[in-house]
Amino acid sequence: MEQIPLPTPKAPTPEALGEMIITDVLERWPNTADVFQNHAMACVGCAVAPFYTINDAALVYRLPVDDFLAELLAVIQTTRVPNYE
Phi and psi at 53, nearest 5°, equal -85, 170
| pLDDT band at residue 6 using 50, 70 and 90 as cut-offs | very low
Architecture of domain 14-75: Orthogonal Bundle (1.10)
Tell me the pTM.
0.82
In tens, the pLDDT along 35-72 reads 999 999 999 999 999 999 999 999 999 999 999 999 99
Domain ranges of the chain: 14-75
Q: Contact at 8 Å (CB) between 39 and 68?
A: yes
55-61: list long-range contacts, CB under 8 Å, 24+ apart: 55/18, 55/19, 56/22, 57/22, 58/18
**Percentage of the chain surpassing pLDDT 90?**
75
More confident residue, 81 or 38: 38
